[in-house]
Amino acid sequence: MNISEKIFSLRKKLHDHSYRYYVLDDPLISDYDFDMMLKELERLEEENPEYFDVNSPTQRVGGSVTKSFITSVHSTPMYSLDNSYSLEDLKEWEKRIKKIIDTQIEYTCELKFDGVSINLTYKEGELVRAVTRGDGVKGDDVTNNVKTIPTVPLKLRGDFKGEFEARGEIVMPISGFNKLNLSRVENGEEPFKNPRNTASGSLKLQDSKEVSNRPLECLLYSVEDPKLFNNHIEFLQNAKSYGFNIYNNYKHSTSLDEIFEFIEHWEKNRSGLPFEIDGVVLKVNDFYQREVLGFTSKFPRWAMAYKFKPENTGTRLNSISFQVGRTGSITPVANLEPVNLAGTIVKRASLHNADFIESMDIRVGDFVYVEKGGDIIPKITNVDKSKRALDSKKFEFPEFCPECGSKLQRLEGEANHYCLNYNGCKPQIIGRIQHYISRKALDIEGLGQETVALLVNNGLINNYSDLYDLRFDQIVGLERMAEKSANNLINGILDSKNIPFERVLYGLGIRYVGETVAKKLAKHFENIDNILNSDFEKLISVDEIGEKIAKSIIEFSQNEQNIEIINSLKNHNIQFEIDDSAKNISSILLGKSFVVSGVFSNFSRDEIKKLIETNGGKISSSISSKTTYLVAGSNMGPSKKEKAEKLNIKIISETELTNLISGQNLLF
């Protein structure tokens, strides 16, 4: 056997033994024998660098240093899941999907791992990229770090052609977390708070060698590729044979009652699992039915997360303080006697508003019960009035802003109190600038929330336009602002001038104008002047823009200082006009509503929808009397066809659609 053959043989044997050890839990050789084989391969690769392979078993040990993680776009979005908390919620979900799918529906139900979602890309059976979920559209490329995790296969078992994505959760098993913390305490270091946060932080370590020392595990939960699997249960039953780590506790059934028995079992017995879970995930099994069901703007319609009831514990309410948000909203905060809750030390909890405090008659000094909403945000759920002091006094909400002293007002129809000192209340100023530089808005590198507060408190900025007047000599030497940091900040501010209009619009912080609304406004009006000069009727004519949003935009545009700031931003060449590539190609389909169903030969469903939207048409998920056309592909569900025919809605093919757009076939 020559050198190359020996190297390839050792690699194959090590991949096989790793698979048996980490996936099948059925090792054939001892740890010592495995280590000796690995050392032999390391020696041969070092002596023969021409045979280097990025996915060799020797590369799992790490050693590369990543100073900053590259952002990578997912080929298909990683949507979040809609939540449910009862069998009734699940039955309502089932009713909704059965309005679209009129054939029998099978479900799969799996444990919802409490970790960090990861998107693994395989090409010709080899791992080429690992990207965090991020905002669902793009995430951080953490490939080098993920390669150190033994349960992530570097090379799949079998013959694979082309490229596909596999999605899973990076978790830290509880036993590994406890050992890691024991080691940290022995070394005089602070213990980590909980396994989920520790797993997340581990993936962002710069040195992959250090990541390899963290007890991380990858549990795969999805490969939605019809070339590999016909449905989800086929994936769950077979993906392990390809090298993926699949957790075996799942349920496959057509009955929600059976599924709910599975849910109740694991809600009672989750403490016995080797890792943390926060619920279960229910999915439609069939991939074609999933395609028909599609997505809302946030969630897949074919999946639902059932969240377990959060942990609840009691503690003392020591005091109530107040936070002022960027819109002037006053949020009361409970300062608690520290208590361990779901793996973290909780010291504070939101009290929401005056009505919440009044409804529960919450008082300083009370013994209160706290839970983590969705196992994340602490909230007070009950007051033990039997433990209340005899001299306890009813809590009175303050009349004046705790930050600037302005008189608070409660607006009609609002639950919150507001400080209306828009331009003179420092937390509002800081909050607006922090929103402007946030990741989904201008995403200014080198400028974090603490730095914004530092700049405002030092009198260097008073609004987001002032950022573009900052000079290097003004900021170098500030606290935590060395020469390199100052340069990064200035460069990050300059780079933000290339951020597209819809993100700038979101960054302005107009009340009720979130990320999705900003995109719709930008696409409809195409520039900032058209938006700010529009009257109420023009604004509410835009899809999904209601009275509340329209009034808020008008209120923003009538504030002289806002207009001054926008004019200043224009002078700094901020993007206040939609990019040509995002504009409609034509308006030939304007006023027409389309439902797209089935599988197409020349376009994907998403491409068909984009083609319609960029030519002025509107996409709807279900057929109604307002539908203009049903664009039908092969394997279209019979219920859609029947409903379209019943309502006399014209059914067209993809070819007829393209002819329609090109003007060759005017079906109107």
Of 382, 503, 487, the residue nearest 440 (C-alpha): 503
Amino acid letter for position 398: P
To the query of whether residue 112 is one of the catalytic residues in this protein, the response is: yes
DSSP secondary structure of 169-183: EEE--HHHHHHHHHH
Residues 6+ apart with CB under 8 A from 363: 317, 383, 388, 392, 393, 394, 395
Rounded CA-CA distance 490/478 in Å is: 14
Catalytic residue among 112, 240, 519, 523: 112
Write out the E strands in 495-649: 593-597, 618-619, 629-632
For residues 124 and 118, is the Cβ–Cβ distance under 8 A?
A: no
Rounded CA-CA distance 527/569 in Å is: 14
Residues 6+ apart with CB under 8 A from 509: 326, 327, 432, 435, 436
Measured CA distances, 305 to 255, 284, 433, 515 (Å): 17, 12, 35, 24
Rounded CA-CA distance 273/285 in Å is: 25
Measured CA distances, 477 to 444, 473, 480, 487 (Å): 20, 8, 8, 12
Instruction: Kindly report the length of the chain.
Output: 668
Rounded CA-CA distance 272/142 in Å is: 31
For residues 590 and 617, is the Cβ–Cβ distance under 8 A?
A: yes
Amino acid letter for position 152: V
DSSP secondary structure of 582-598: GS-S--TTTT-EEEEES
Sign for the CA dihedral angle at 48, 51, 56, 60 comes to positive
Rounded CA-CA distance 44/38 in Å is: 10
Q: Residue-wise over 486-511: b if at least 16 C-beta within 10 A, else e?
A: bebbbebbeebeebebbbbbbbbbbb
Residues 6+ apart with CB under 8 A from 323: 330, 331, 333, 427
Rounded CA-CA distance 258/405 in Å is: 58
**Catalytic residue positions, numbered:** 112
